[in-house]
Amino acid sequence: MPERRFRTITVSAQLYQHVQERAKKEKKPLAVFVSDILVNMLYVDERFANYVPLLDLVALETDQVIIRDNKKDKIADVRVRKGASGKVELYCDFDRTDYCPHTAFAAALPQVLNAARR
């Protein structure tokens, strides 16, 4: 397997400490953890760039994300709950599935990610 090459980036001390704690919690080297996060965020950004203008956050509740779907002219309720494994699960009442543009949009929202970590 080829050696992974890393580059240096600058972040605030507060963000560095937060990321370092999360990497330790997930038992990953810091560079690998940050790389994984960036890859995931870029994927979501590229994959759902066409949906972002069409979806708006209406409200964020403890266990629910309400999203306005401008393309369908409807409101989608995405339920948020902790699964048996302790991971956060999302379910869209509108599409009746756990994976659709609404759940992906909700999962990419920083507010949902922060609430899910608590």
List pLDDT tens digits, range 41-99: 888 777 777 766 789 889 988 889 999 999 899 999 999 887 787 778 899 999 999 99
Residue 8 within any structural domain of the chain = no
Residues of the chain above pLDDT 70, percent: 91
Compute the mean pLDDT over every residue in the chain, rounded to the nearest whole number: 85
Which helix (H) or strand (E) element contains residue 80? strand 74-82
14 contacts: CB under 8 Å, gap ≥ 6: none
- Asked whether the predicted pLDDT for residue 113 surpasses 50, the reply is yes
Same domain, 68 and 93: yes
* Better pLDDT: 112 or 63: 63
What one-character-per-residue DSSP string does 16-43 give? HHHHHHHHHHTT--HHHHHHHHHHHHHH
Same domain, 43 and 56: no
Q: How many domains does the chain have?
A: 2
For residues 36 and 19, give the distance between their C-alpha atoms in angstroms, rounded to a whole number: 12
- Residue 75 is predicted with a pLDDT of 95
Q: Which domain holds residue 41?
A: 13-47
- Residue 62 is predicted with a pLDDT of 80
Same domain, 84 and 99: yes
Same domain, 60 and 27: no
- Asked whether the predicted pLDDT for residue 26 surpasses 70, the reply is yes
73-104 exposure pattern, b = at least 16 Cβ within 10 A, e = fewer: eeebbbbbeeeeeeeeebbbebbeeeebbbbb
Residue 1: band (very low, low, confident or very high) from pLDDT cuts 50, 70, 90: very low
Residue 98 amino acid letter: D
Alpha helices in 26-86, H assignment, sequence order: 30-47
Residue 106 within any structural domain of the chain = yes
